[in-house]
Chain A
Amino acid sequence: MTEPVITVENLTMAYGDFLIQRDLSFTINRGDIFIIMGGSGCGKSTLLMHLIGLQQPAKGEVFYGGQNFWQTDPQERQKIMRRIGVLFQSGALLSSMTLAENIALPVAEFTDLTPPQIRKIVSYKLALVGLAGFEDYYPSEISGGMQKRAGLARAMALDPEILYFDEPSAGLDPISAKLLDDLIQGLRDSLGATIVMVTHELPSIFAIGTNSVFLDPETKTAIAAGPPKQLLAESKDPKVIRFLTRDAREPGETPMPDPVLDAGASL
């Protein structure tokens, strides 16, 4: 059962004259945990901005289902954006509001639920991410990992079909990162959501990724695509292999087993 949810065709991204990536084409299917990976500064987060409607492509198309995201009129685009949830790198909770108010914000705006119903939904979402009881805390009063989970609760507030994550485990300790991975996988399985993740955490990539695209900063385009494990086993491209095996050596030198990766892959 592969039903394309998002199709990217010949996408070129640039800031003015400065080219970030060109000619990206890939398809994200329903139920995928799709990983956007690549070295630092290759344009992973910029690609995310293009997918969630914060930045317009220099060239090329993004399709949601059959709809052309950037060519359709603003109301239609708003409707598409209603179907997606985004967890930003820092959580991006509104700091002047409590967690409950943050999560209630989209619910109150886009549904006709009564305040008590909204309050119940808020508590349920917080409980899902393991933050039951923290309704009335301000974002500045909780830790970075909790902020991220609260951000996830807000991203899920309207039961989106597609969830975007910008480096979800950056800045988390390995155990919290693992718990977050499990949570993401659990959400995909139980809600039937499609998940798109920007990350360069190898343990996460191998543990939960079902499909991926690899962006290369030097040639400024995607040099590999496919399930991460399959890439590791079959890819011929030395850059991809070095990235996936955490190998800093130039191609040609004999690779050595990496204790950190081995520990990560067995998680």
Chain B
Amino acid sequence: MNAVHTPSEWRVERRSDTDVELILTGDWDAENSARMDPQPVLEEIRQCRGTRRVRLTAKELGRWDSVLMVFLITVIDGCREEQLEVDTAGLPEGIRALLDLSYAVPERAGARRGKVRTPWLAEIGNSALRLWDGGKAFTLFLGEVAFAFAASAAGRARFRRIDLWLNIQECGPSAVPIVTLISLLVGLILAFVGAVQLALFGAQIYIADLVALGMTREMGALMTAIIMAGRTGASFAAQIGTMNVNQEISALRVMGFAPLEFLVLPRMLALILVMPVLCLYADLMGIIGGGLVTISFFDVSLTQYINRTREAAHLADVFVGLAKCTVFGILIAVAGCLRGMQCGRSASAVGDAATSAVVTSIVFIVVSDSIITLICDRLGI
């Protein structure tokens, strides 16, 4: 590469009463762009009184690139604003061709977007409207899902049975390792937290109560749901979102399949079937985790722990947990599938859909958990 730079130069010369010549010399490229402000050029052209025509010449031009083109376009636009005729015949052919190309298709009226600044009050109003629209879309989706369920109960829903089994496999057995780990550790933590306080009164044996009730009524369901929201909810949204991007959902519609039945039903059924089982398993793992701590550190025997757990946890507690977990499963599937169906048509939209699915499911889970806990409290379950 030629390392020697000739600095870019321009000068404006008067040729006749009405003609002005703008002469460009030197290298006009990105490495050499300091002296390329077009405004002084326009100033100087304006100062030549009586000018009607501007000739552009570049006999001793060195290297040039888009920097020169931008410079020339600004100069030409400036001259045309002043009603001056521009003569480009003195420019090299390549430059002239590029200039012709850039002026060939006029800017489409109304195509330019410009930055629209929304006042903050309007922004708040818009968010409220979006929230309202989101609520409406969610309610509509819930209604359609209910119809799809009714259709499937009547045996009219169209989806492939194999899809149901694949989804069960994907949501259930594949999630067992992570559910094992998390619920074991949550049981362990529950035991430790309780033990510190209970040991003050010499009541270590009640750690078993704490763990058993905590896991079965609350933590088993909640932890399973949060794992599944991150694991399965996000994957539902991404799968359905990608299908949307690829026109697969349009293709299904044209072939006469309702996407809600074909895509949403098997996923939702799979979660409804799998969640209680996973929750039961998480309860068991949590109680084992709590037991490990209690037996090894707090002077309680295995038999004592088991007996105490049996007395503390009732079938009703387990059922409350399972019921919660089933509700969470439905909510995760609804959030995941809804976000997938709403997905836009780009790669980033799929990512947004997955993120939004997880956030939505976790909000749903925690809110519905509070509501169910409140109801159970009032009913005395």
Q: Are A106 and B253 in contact (CB-based, < 8 A)? A: no
CA–CA, A180 and B22, complex, Å: 56
> Which of B160, B242, B243, B251 has the largest number of chain A CB atoms within 10 A?
B251
Contact with B along A89-129 (1 / 0, CB 8 A): 11011111000000001100110000000000000000000
Residue numbers in A under 8 Å from B251 (CB-CB): 86, 88, 92-94, 154
Q: How far is the CB of A215 from chain B (nearest CB, A)?
A: 17
Q: Are A53 and B255 in contact (CB-based, < 8 A)? A: no
Kindly identify which residue among B242, B247, B250, B257 contacts A109, using a CB–CB cutoff of 8 Å: B257
Q: Are A90 and B256 in contact (CB-based, < 8 A)? A: no
Chain A CB within 8 A of B133 CB: no
Q: Are B250 and A92 in contact (CB-based, < 8 A)? A: yes
CA–CA, A110 and B254, complex, Å: 13
Residue numbers in B under 8 Å from A49 (CB-CB): 250
Which stretch of A9-17, A23-31, A77-85, A183-191 is in the interface?
A77-85
Chain A CB within 8 A of B158 CB: yes
Chain B CB within 8 A of A8 CB: no
Chain B CB within 8 A of A175 CB: no
Q: Are B243 and A94 in contact (CB-based, < 8 A)? A: yes
CA–CA, A96 and B159, complex, Å: 14
Knowing A95-B242, A109-B158 are in contact, say whether A54-B250 is a contact too (CB < 8 A). Answer: yes
Chain A CB within 8 A of B246 CB: yes
Residue numbers in A under 8 Å from B44 (CB-CB): none
Chain B CB within 8 A of A261 CB: no
- Nearest CB to that of B252 among chain A residues? A94
Chain B CB within 8 A of A170 CB: no
Knowing A90-B247, A92-B248, A109-B158 are in contact, say whether A82-B242 is a contact too (CB < 8 A). Answer: no
Main secondary structure of the interface of B (DSSP, over half): helix
Contact with A along B128-164 (1 / 0, CB 8 A): 0000000000000000000000000000001010000
Contact with A along B252-279 (1 / 0, CB 8 A): 1111110000000000000000000000
CA–CA, A76 and B240, complex, Å: 28
Q: Are A82 and B256 in contact (CB-based, < 8 A)? A: yes
Q: How far is the CB of B162 from chain A (nearest CB, A)?
A: 9
CA–CA, A138 and B253, complex, Å: 21
Interface residues on B, range: 10 to 19
Chain B CB within 8 A of A58 CB: no
Q: Are B254 and A81 in contact (CB-based, < 8 A)? A: yes
Chain B CB within 8 A of A52 CB: yes
Contact with A along B217-257 (1 / 0, CB 8 A): 00000000000000000000001001100111011111111
CA–CA, A144 and B328, complex, Å: 41
Residue numbers in B under 8 Å from A52 (CB-CB): 254
Q: Are B256 and A109 in contact (CB-based, < 8 A)? A: yes
Interface residues on A, range: 20 to 34
Q: Are A84 and B243 in contact (CB-based, < 8 A)? A: no
Q: Are A78 and B248 in contact (CB-based, < 8 A)? A: no
Q: Are A92 and B246 in contact (CB-based, < 8 A)? A: yes
> Which of A84, A92, A96 has the largest number of chain B CB atoms within 10 A?
A92
Kindly identify which residue among A94, A95, A106, A154 contacts B256, using a CB–CB cutoff of 8 Å: A106
CA–CA, A84 and B255, complex, Å: 8
Q: Are B248 and A54 in contact (CB-based, < 8 A)? A: no
Q: Are A110 and B247 in contact (CB-based, < 8 A)? A: no
Kindly identify which residue among B160, B254, B257 contacts A54, using a CB–CB cutoff of 8 Å: B254
Kindly identify which residue among B160, B243, B250, B255 contacts A95, using a CB–CB cutoff of 8 Å: B243
CA–CA, A49 and B249, complex, Å: 13
Residue numbers in B under 8 Å from A93 (CB-CB): 248, 251
- Nearest CB to that of A157 among chain B residues? B255
- Nearest CB to that of B105 among chain A residues? A248
Kindly identify which residue among A81, A82, A92 contacts B247, using a CB–CB cutoff of 8 Å: A92
Q: Are B247 and A88 in contact (CB-based, < 8 A)? A: yes
Residue numbers in A under 8 Å from B158 (CB-CB): 109
Q: How far is the CB of B242 from chain A (nearest CB, A)?
A: 7
Q: Are B247 and A94 in contact (CB-based, < 8 A)? A: no
- Nearest CB to that of A110 among chain B residues? B256
Residue numbers in A under 8 Å from B247 (CB-CB): 88-90, 92
Residue numbers in B under 8 Å from A94 (CB-CB): 243, 248, 251-252
- Nearest CB to that of A166 among chain B residues? B247
- Nearest CB to that of B160 among chain A residues? A105
CA–CA, A95 and B243, complex, Å: 8
Q: How far is the CB of A43 from chain B (nearest CB, A)?
A: 16
CA–CA, A110 and B255, complex, Å: 10
Residue numbers in A under 8 Å from B243 (CB-CB): 94-95
CA–CA, A41 and B11, complex, Å: 45
Q: Are A54 and B255 in contact (CB-based, < 8 A)? A: no
Residue numbers in A under 8 Å from B254 (CB-CB): 52-54, 81, 84, 86
Q: How far is the CB of B68 from chain A (nearest CB, A)?
A: 26
Contact with A along B326-349 (1 / 0, CB 8 A): 000000000000000000000000
CA–CA, A109 and B157, complex, Å: 11
Q: Which residues of A contact B (CB under 8 A)?
A: 49, 52-54, 78, 81-82, 84, 86, 88-90, 92-96, 105-106, 109-110, 154
Q: Which residues of B contact A (CB under 8 A)?
A: 158, 160, 239, 242-243, 246-248, 250-257
Q: A92-B251, A95-B246 are in contact. List 11 more A-B contacts (CB 8 A).
A: A53-B254, A86-B251, A88-B251, A90-B246, A94-B252, A95-B248, A105-B255, A106-B256, A109-B256, A109-B257, A154-B255
Could you give 19 example pairs across A and B, Cβ below 8 Å? Answer: A49-B250, A53-B253, A53-B254, A54-B253, A78-B256, A81-B256, A86-B251, A88-B250, A89-B247, A90-B246, A93-B248, A93-B251, A94-B243, A94-B252, A95-B248, A105-B160, A105-B257, A110-B256, A154-B255
